[in-house]
Chain A
């Protein structure tokens, strides 16, 4: 199977490592594009109209809600509004239960992954979620 293109927006290197480990152990063949902040991701993935040079469409976007300098939800909304990314499955990953309750309703069609504290649970949960997302994205693309 062709390597899945995964975009990960996450500033914590410890979490980046765990997420990559989760994909590896779940057998997800992938290439990962990493961004340390939402702004950085937006600049690369949805540049202003007309300046777009890339045609890159990832298979899944994983976004940590608590990245510095920008409100994760604002970033998510902008990503979702970009026409090129319209069919890309997106997931919010966070350890905040409160945030999930507050914004869940505004996240129509967005997957929500709560980071478990226990290592094995984390690896399984994140790995399975990304697998499902890739699956879902491919299903929606195929006519």
Chain B
């Protein structure tokens, strides 16, 4: 190759190269090397030792070059530049066209960016590892095959497994298969693949040694190495204790509400009795406005009395749930309730019919409240122009009995179908349909405490059907 070709090549590439003679004096250098090491054309002929001062460990660099000259082997060194750059330095023997060794060629590759990227990756890894270690929530990282990739200390501590016995194990096999939880299988197998991230997935499970735990799981796919399936980060929030605390507080609040509803009875009785006495004794003796005011006071007191009475009933369903549910014949309960409601049925001209009803697992008193409220409502919310037709039946579904109480009454607008079960929820004015709005809340409590569900379907203006499920006597499907 002609000399000028070589020079053109060296000038056009960004390769930083310095050519040294056998005494390690600078013979020539490429523009890239000139720029990096601030060499001038006049530097030609200077010994390398002047240049080597720019590098950390200069003595070693010179020694390596001497070794290359002596052994004719290629050497590669990592160097740190004065400005903190990272270089890979290659030292090769310089061969003349006559194959005579006449010095060395030193090339420099600036690997600063590569090195920095590497450090960033390392820093990120350390950062993440520290977060995982620091987080008090148990964290578990699974690979695509649901094997334990890593976990934090909290996880090992809470679930009493060691790092050694866990790593590489499929999660469901961990600690005598105690993690083989159907809900977890569903989360990892079905939910996560479609969502990539899941929060607050509730899992309740009896662990052989820990007992029953209630956990909220957060799961997320995290990108892993290139071309590999993502890892799965599983965060476990054990809410068993906070749940217990909440339940305890809830119990206390219920108790306070129950006690308060009782304690208010006595002062309220005074108000009711004496406003009524006032009305009775002084009617017509004061002026007309006074009579009206007293009437308002009586009305308010009576209304409050009714609310409290219903509230006490509601709380007593909550409070007195002591006995275990037993088989109860709902035919008998229904017949007794129809007897109690007889006056209302006669008066309104309602016709109440029912199919043979099953024996269910329930408590007698709450069950009566359920029938009484639902049938009572069906009579009460009849259409003005048509006598109520009410039919009660029950169908067997999945180990439960699904009851229905269907009427041809005024119906419920769609937007109220869910909210009508809330305590004190009323859809009508007192002058239209009196009541406190506690009946359906009682029904909901009764059904849910028995392990069932209650809901309503309705066509506004044409009638409603209330459905509820109760456990069947033998429990099978």
Residue in A closest to B319 when the chains form the complex, CB atoms: A98
Question: Which residues A1-38 have CB closer than 8 A to chain B?
Answer: 12, 14, 18, 21
Which of A50-58, A75-83, A111-119 faces chain B? A111-119
Given contacts A117-B268, A117-B305, contact A122 B273 (CB under 8 A): yes
Which of A12, A96, A115, A118 meets B276, CB within 8 Å? A118
A119–B277 CB distance below 8 A: yes
Q: Does B296 sit at the interface, judged by CB under 8 A?
A: no
Bound CA span A141–B269, Å: 36
Q: Does A108 sit at the interface, judged by CB under 8 A?
A: no
Chain B residues with Cβ below 8 Å from A140 are none
B266–A119 CB distance below 8 A: no
Interface string of A88-112 (1 = CB under 8 A from B): 0000000111100000000000000
Q: Which of B262, B269, B272 has the most CB of A within 10 A?
A: B269
Q: In the complex, what's the smallest C-beta–C-beta distance from A12 to chain B, in angstroms?
A: 8
Question: Which residues B244-287 have CB closer than 8 A to chain A?
Answer: 262, 265-266, 268-270, 272-274, 276-277, 280
Question: Which residues B300-322 have CB closer than 8 A to chain A?
Answer: 302, 305, 312
B262–A119 CB distance below 8 A: no
Sorting the interface of chain A by its residue count into under 10, 10 to 19, 20 to 34 or 35 or more gives: 10 to 19
Which of A97, A117, A118 meets B262, CB within 8 Å? A97
Q: Which of A14, A95, A116, A119 has the most CB of B within 10 A?
A: A119
Chain B residues with Cβ below 8 Å from A120 are 276
Given contacts A117-B305, A119-B280, contact A18 B273 (CB under 8 A): yes
B265–A119 CB distance below 8 A: no
**6 A-B pairs closest in CB distance:** A119-B276, A117-B272, A117-B269, A119-B273, A117-B305, A95-B266
A interface with B by C-beta (< 8 Å): 12, 14, 18, 21, 66, 95-98, 115-120, 122
Known A-B contacts: A14-B273, A18-B273, A97-B312. Give 10 more (CB < 8 A). Answer: A18-B277, A95-B265, A95-B269, A96-B262, A116-B269, A117-B268, A117-B272, A117-B305, A119-B272, A119-B277
